[in-house]
Amino acid sequence: MQTENLTPIAFQFSATRQDLNSILIENEPWFVAKDICDILELGNVTKALYALDEDEKLTLPIVRAGQNRKVNCISESGLFALIMRSNKPEAKAFRKWVTSEVLPALRKNGFYGNSKKSIDFIDARDIPYTQVLFNETPVRTITIKEIPYYSLNDYHAAIKSRTESSQAAKKLNKVQPLAVKIWLFGNTHPAWFTTLQGLQLIASGSRVFHSSNQLSLVL
């Protein structure tokens, strides 16, 4: 399961005008626990999470207000478990809204109402990708419009760098657009890729420097 730097889908519960953020992972919705607890007036988020099964809760790295934060999220079954614990009059209306409107829309469209996110990635799920070896580590690569792109996550693993791909992409794009988000077939969300020039720039600043000529195709 790939869960790096996820961008939540934000919308409002119309009855109370309270915000609710959701994340789709493998087409299954997860909800920010604090948002749910606020709507259901469950004051202690930690206590609410403790009562859930382990497979009903997850800590995810979410991009909010331009910052990466680890946020407690709950699954669909966890959501219904919390609804059952709420004494708020709106709990029934909230459950009906979620089951009849939100969940079907998220699964069908990937968003609900006017919450559709702007497309900031290349959807390449219909384009085959390959792998190259770098430092004996597989690096995913895909060619789009005759330009080869390489996975920043994989490349950082190859050079043993702890830099997050989003940080590297931001630095690369300061000079010119060298990094883009690409959604590969089999992945749950888009990830950062860069060109060969981008790899060379990263390598030049890395302690583990190897010429890009050492990239060799996996047969």
Q: Taking the complete model, does pTM exceed 0.85, yes or no?
A: no
Listed in sequence order, the residues at least 6 apart from 104 whose beta carbon sits closer than 8 Å to its beta carbon are none
Domains of the chain: 9-109 (no CATH), 122-217 (3.10.260)
Pair 90, 149: CB distance under 8 Å: no
Task: Give the HSE-up count for residue 159: Cα atoms under 13 Å, Cβ half-sphere.
Answer: 26
Name residue 217's beta-bridge partners: 132
SS3 of the chain: helix, strand, coil, percent, to 5 = 35, 30, 35
> Could you read off the pLDDT tens digit of each residue along the chain, which spans 219 residues?
545 567 777 788 878 888 888 888 877 889 999 999 999 989 899 999 999 999 999 998 886 655 567 899 999 999 999 999 888 888 888 988 888 888 888 777 766 765 545 446 788 888 999 999 988 899 999 999 889 999 999 999 998 888 888 888 888 888 788 999 898 988 877 899 999 999 988 887 755 444 444 444 343
